[in-house]
Amino acid sequence: MSLTIEPLHPTFAAKVLGVDFSKSIPVETLEAIKAAIAKYGVLVFPATGLDDERHVAFAEHFGELERRKDTGAQSRLKMPELTDQGNIDASGNIIGSADPRAQISKVRNESVQGNTLFHVDSSFNAHRASYSILLAHEIPPKGAGGNTDYADTRTAWDDLPESWKEELLRKNYIANHSFWHSRKTACPEFFAKLTPGNHPMSKHKILQLHEPSGRMNLFVPSHCHHIDGLSEDEARETLDFLYKHVTQEKYVVSIPWAEVGDLVMWDNTCTLHRGTPVVGNHKRDMRRATVLDSSAEAWGLNEKVERDFAFAPEVMADVFRSLSG
């Protein structure tokens, strides 16, 4: 099985053609995909024809998968290896923008608030994610938006001013990541009474080696709340500068979802991503399999115990108290 790889940006991201997802994928093809994701960071596979079971089976070739511990609002998906990235509920209705599920999941149709922050999946957990593998089951019509944007954080490091490189290499900053910090940043009025600092956060280095490519990477998603050893103002100045640097237009590619069955795979340890708004009252059914990282930075500076920093019962109770209060 011969693959055709078409670059989508001067420095990263590519479309992959030639994978027959209707059959068992040969080992040599999987190795070629692994080499491509190490090089490009983002891979687009058009019109795969995958269903939930084969989606999960494909993802399992790349490592251990995250599994949902509690279905909750995700109950329309029956496989715990998949998370719901769409805007519909278990009855197939579009989730209204006033619904807390929409705010928490950042699923809003016409507002730019909830879904425009560049982030990585699961950096707020002790054990972070490596690959995300997102499959389109239902998409808005052409022209209605809903692209996914990606930022190249390895090239952003390469281009960083030398003074900043020296500082990051010397100080080896550790950032604290919070799911609820990014949500409050996205929707400050809705989450006005929520205090993310009241809850545990994960710790990950800002400057990291991306092992598959041997290149350095800036790990600065919107989940970053503060930096150990810096004042609040110093940390915010540093994080804001780095976030704005890595998300400059020259480092960003926008990927459209052209048809049902399109699949995009990306490496959370060398890219950031964000959803873009859907204009109009259109359903969007997207489902993601998430691979746990196995690199030396997989657990960051966290205890190697599976902890749910974002959705533990006591955290969720506080979140909903803040919304109702």
Q: What's the CA angle centered on 314, arms 311 and 319, to 5 degrees? A: 70
CATH code of the domain occupying 4-324: 3.60.130.10
Q: How far is CA 99 from CA 103, 108, 205, 248, in A?
A: 7, 10, 35, 32
CA quadruple 302, 305, 310, 313: dihedral sign: negative
The DSSP code sequence of 43-70 is EEE------HHHHHHHHGGGSPBP--S-
User: Which of 70-74, 87-91, 181-185, 317-321 ranks highest by mean pLDDT?
Assistant: 181-185
Is the model's pLDDT at 113 over the cut of 60? no
Q: What is the largest CA-CA distance in the chain?
A: 58
In the chain, DSSP assigns E strands to: 4-7, 14-17, 42-45, 82-84, 129-138, 148-152, 174-177, 202-205, 207-210, 215-218, 224-227, 252-255, 263-267, 271-275, 285-292
Is the model's pLDDT at 114 over the cut of 50? no
Each residue's pLDDT tens digit, 230-274: 999 999 999 999 999 999 999 999 999 999 999 999 999 999 999
C-alpha to C-alpha distance for 2 and 18, rounded to whole angstroms: 6
Is the model's pLDDT at 71 over the cut of 60? no
The answer to whether 315 touches 194, Cβ cutoff 8 Å, is: no
Residue spans of the domains in the chain: they are 4-324
Q: What pLDDT was estimated at residue 117?
A: 93
Band of residue 76 on the pLDDT scale cut at 50, 70, 90: confident
- Provide the token pair at 291: 């691979």
Is the model's pLDDT at 99 over the cut of 80? no
Q: What pLDDT was estimated at residue 115?
A: 53
What phi-psi label fits residue 193: left (phi over 0), alpha (psi between -120 and 50 degrees) or beta? alpha
